[in-house]
Each structure stands twice: as C-alpha cells, then as structure tokens.
A and B are shown apart, each in its own frame.
Chain A
Amino acid sequence: MKYVQYINELIMKKTGETEKLVLYGQNIAAGSHISGFTKNPKVGAGGLIINATNSENTLAGLGFGMMLNGTSSIFFMKQLDFLLLGIDQLTHSYNFIRRHIPKASYTIAAVVSDLGWHGLQSSFANFGDLCSIARIPGFTITNKADAEQIINTQLVAPGFRVIGVSQRLFGKELLEVKSISTNQDKTLFQYREGEKATIVSFNFSFPQSLELAEKLDEKGVKASLFSVNAVTPIDWTKIIEDIQKTKNLVVLDDSKSENLACDNLLATAYEKCKMDKVIALKREIRSNEWLFPNQDELVVNYDEVVKRLLV
C-alpha cells in the first residue's frame, strides 16, 4: 500500500466517526483530492465538507473562529507553503485561543512540498520552521506506526496542531514498521534498540534513517532508531540516555532550513554525553541549485557512514 493511501484511509475512518466536524480546504472533494490525500472525504452526522475558496489567510483563521464556539474542524492544505499567507492566524489567533484549554479541535493537515521537482516553492520544506513560529504542536507522518498513533490520537482532539505529510513520500510504498515505544505526546517514537549507535531521524528523513539502521544491522552493528515527529519543545531525556549507552550518535535531517531541530539535540548531546563518534547528515547547500527543480533529497552514502561507525 502506498503512503498516501494508508494515511487517507486512516483519516477518513476517523472523520467519518466524528459528528459535527467540518472538513475544508481547496479541492478536498474534487479532482485528484489533493493527490489522494482527501479521497472519499467523510464526516459524521451534522458535519460539513467544504471545497473552499482560494483564500488561505481566511481559511487558516476559520478553524480558530470555529473553535470559539466549540466546533471542530480540519483544514487540508495542498501545500504547506500556502500557509505562509495565513501566518498571523497561526500566531495571533492561536495565541488568543491557547490562553485557555479549548473544547474543540482544530487541525491543519498540510502537504509539505518537499518534492524538489517543484522548484522554488519546495524551499519551505522544514516542517519545524512553521511550528516554531508560535510553538505550535506539530507532527510529521513518515510510516505506518506513526501514522496510526498520530492520526488516531491527534487529528481530532481538543486544541490546535499541524500535521505534516511528505509529498516526496506520497507515491512510495508505506514503511510498515512497528514502534517499540512512544512518548505520551506522540512526538518521539523509538523503533529499534541497540548497543552500538543511536540514530535519530528529523523532519521526513525516516526512510533514510531506517535504511541506515538496516545496513548497520547487516554488518552486525545493532543501533537504536528514534524518529522525532514534533519539532516544538521536546524532552530529549530518552535519546540522551541511549546515547550515553551507545556513545555513537547519527542524526539525519532532510530539511533546507538554517534552523534545524537536529542541532538542538546535538547541542544537548555534546553537553550531556561523552561520545566517540558524532555524524550529522544534513543537506549540503552551497549554491543556488537548491532553488531550481531537482531531485532534492537527502542523499546518504550509507557505506561511508557504516565504515565510519565501524572504525
């Protein structure tokens, strides 16, 4: 099953069970349904499905307005960068509402435009940048396990959050992994536990992180594997404890931002852990090529990383 198909089915099961829920967004019930993301939209009794106008600031604000009278909603966005047109809603309106614990739910479910072939608009590929604007709870979906946990517990729940899905992963096969633990907020998932290295994935780099863990496994190196699915304040304790045990840290972050969440972990790890090896796999952006249509993925030289860890 494809990544987008699985996420779509989980979402529509949840929304179909929820009464008086409003689903809205551009083309959510027409055409390709945002490339299948909102295919067969469903709401429970009394709900509404609205193919909305192309008015992103207003669309971003609508959900907060509905929260004020106790109505829950989900705003599906074709591209996360469209949300830049409604930033003041994410800061001002959200800050007004978050003074008290709201009864209603408002979720913006956005497609992160990380497919480099889209050119200029794919530069805003760091989901964390958006969330850090107003410390917005944010969740990235990268595989079957986090999709289930995040959609079932966060999609419709009191409060506001943004859930990001990766356009680059839309057409790829779903990674059917199982998590061995997650924190209560569903912001940190652990998939493997090992003795020799700690691998931590950020943004949408879980596929590369999983492949690295498998390559190491083939060489008999058991590594712990974590994925950071939220980018607003996170408790690093569990990861730090693991690094103190393995003494080797590999972080992977595929975003193009200058403010990487992995740097926060690296700083904490340097402060609290005595490490033998630290490998940070980030995007290397040295010219204007990142602005032009291109493959635009975090390319990992697995053999080299494995070699460095084995030395």
Chain B
Amino acid sequence: MTIENKTSIAREILRLRLSQMIINEKYKANLFKIPIHIAMGHEAIAVAVDAVLEKNDRLVCTHRNMHYNLAQAKSLKPILDEYFLKKEGLARAELGSMNLANEEKNIIYTSSILGNNLPVAAGLALGEKVQETGNLVVVQTGDGAMEEGTFYESLLFSRSNSLRMLVIVENNEWSMHTKISERRSEINISKFTESLGVEYRRIDGNNVYAYIDELRILRKQIIETRNPAVLEVDLVTLGGWYVDDGKGGWRFIHPHAGPLSKTELVEWPEIEHGPTDPVFVLKEDFSAEELKKMAEEILRGLKLEIGE
C-alpha cells in the first residue's frame, strides 16, 4: 500500500470517529427524535470493508450502521440531515438511523430487526447468482444477532446454494446491556461454520491495514469458490460508563442506543489509550504529531460541511 493510500485510510478512521463525536454532541443536546446507535470503536472494520468492496458489491447492515454509512457516504451532512429527518437527508427522511441504507453507495438494505437482514442478504446473493453478476454480498451482524435462527438458516441456505456472501460478525460481547457471559453459553463459530463447510476467519486488534488484507483474501476466495464465509471481528463499542448498581458496587453501562454521556468532542479523538480503540492503533503507522494534524484538519472540514 502506498503512503498516500495509507494516509487516506488513516484519515477515514479519524473522520468516522470525529463525525460520530459531532453526532453524539447533538444527541446529548437532545436534538434528535429518532433512536440512534453510535458505533465508536467499530471504525476499522467499516473503513476496511469500504476499501475492499468493488463498485457493484452489496452491503447489508444492521441497526448499528453509522460507521458503514459514514464510510460509504464519505460525508457527514446527508447522514446528519437524515437523523434530523430533513428531506435533504441521505434517505429523504424515510429511514432515519436504524434502517439507513444508501442504495447508490453499496448499502442496499439495512434492518432494525435483529437477524432480519441475513435472509435478505442471502436472497440478494441468490439474485446475483441468477443475474450472473459475480458481485459479493457482505452482511453485517453481531454476537447478539447470531443467536437468532436466521444466522443458521441463512448460512445453511447460502452454503447449500453456493452463494457469494460474506457474513461479518461484529463481536462486541454485548446485546443491549447484557454481556455474553450473562446471557448464554459460548458459541464456537469456528466449529459451527466448519460443520456447514463454511470458511471462518477471526480478526482483532483494530489494525485497519491488516483488516483490509484479510478482507481482500476472503473476497477473492468467496468469488472463486462460490461459497459463503464468516468473518468474526472482535471489537469494543467505546463510550461506556459505570453507574452505582445499588448494591454497593458498580455496573458498566454498555453503549446501546442513546447518547454517550461521558464522551466529549475533542480535537484528538482517542477514547481508549489501547488497542481497543482504532484511533489509538493508528499510532503503529503514524506519529502522534501527524495524526493530531490530520484530526484537526478533518474536524475543521466537518464543521465547515455542516455549517458550524
């Protein structure tokens, strides 16, 4: 990857983070009527998917889709306008946040219903097969949605009918405010997919360049073999906080829908000083000074774009 491309990718991570921070500030000010799911900490996979998708590939999202929509739209204003339910919004105020799609930029369907998007994605992949396009369908899901029967059903159907579909499981360990360990036994996706003859990979660490390499390999493999694959991404939805649990202890509040009350818009938008934060991970490839300069420029540009 050239240095120009690397810089461009890093700027995208920062743009997605700062855009979300701007949205969060307005959310905290109670300016939205619709529910919104912020996805800070999810930027690396969204930017990597955007970098790897071909022009006519399809992307199918979930209720927490802000990172993918910001990555595909390349701008904040149409998304912000959609959240404000303005006619100038990305979907003409028809979809709001939880169903926000962008048909012109790959995101062809988004569902607010847990697990609902997997069958639709499988149908889309079947349609691509009938039309003999050779396009890939990428569908986003999570560790909560994979508990739904549609996860199994759609993988089984896709494998049985040789469909080019990539399922990305964003595993943040939480379903609303309940951790995996609090709600179910472990699911070994590796063994589960193996039983269906479906390829499985797992990535973590938020290094967007490593994610791009992994996705390119998977895309090529799916296109060649005509078999679906599952990519599990370990990540943390940043911006949570602790509250008194009323029993003398503290309970962690995981960000679901709603504003992140403890997160502020700052010029250097790092939230966690560690590998759970894709912004922090950029320091593996750029100096702190380079990144801060980029972030300042991007924030100025975003504010200009939305007229502030």
Contacts and interface: CB of A to CB of B under 8 A. Distances in A.
Interface of A: 20, 22, 46-48, 50, 52-53, 55, 57-71, 73, 86, 88-89, 92-93, 96, 99
Contacts of A67: 123, 127
A92 B112 contact: yes
Contact of A65 (B101, B126, B152, B161): B126
Given A58-B150, A66-B127, A68-B123, 14 more contacts: A22-B127, A55-B157, A57-B150, A58-B119, A58-B122, A58-B154, A61-B123, A61-B150, A61-B154, A64-B120, A69-B127, A69-B128, A89-B119, A96-B109
B195 to A, nearest CB: 15
Given A58-B122, A61-B116, A88-B116, A47 B149 contact: no
B161 A64 contact: no
Nearest to B120: A65
A70 to B, nearest CB: 7
A62 B131 contact: no
B153 A57 contact: yes
Contacts, number: 113
Provide the main secondary structure of the chain B interface.
helix
Interface of B: 58, 94-95, 99, 101, 108-113, 116, 118-131, 133, 149-150, 152-154, 156-157, 160-161
B154 A68 contact: no
Contacts of B112: 92
Contact of A22 (B109, B120, B130, B152): B130
B127 A70 contact: yes
B153 A69 contact: no
Contact of A92 (B113, B126, B157): B113
A68 B160 CA distance: 21
B150 A62 contact: no
Nearest to A22: B130
B111 to A, nearest CB: 6
Chain A to chain B: the 9 pairs with minimum beta-carbon distance, closest first: A65-B123, A61-B119, A55-B153, A62-B123, A71-B127, A58-B153, A65-B124, A66-B127, A58-B119
Nearest to A93: B120
A68 B108 contact: yes
Given A57-B149, A70-B127, A65 B113 contact: no
A68 B153 contact: no
B59 to A, nearest CB: 12
B126 A22 contact: yes
30 contacts: A20-B130, A22-B130, A48-B129, A53-B160, A55-B152, A55-B156, A57-B119, A57-B153, A58-B150, A58-B153, A59-B157, A62-B119, A62-B120, A62-B122, A62-B157, A64-B120, A65-B124, A65-B126, A68-B124, A69-B133, A71-B127, A71-B130, A73-B123, A88-B116, A89-B116, A89-B119, A92-B111, A92-B112, A92-B116, A93-B120
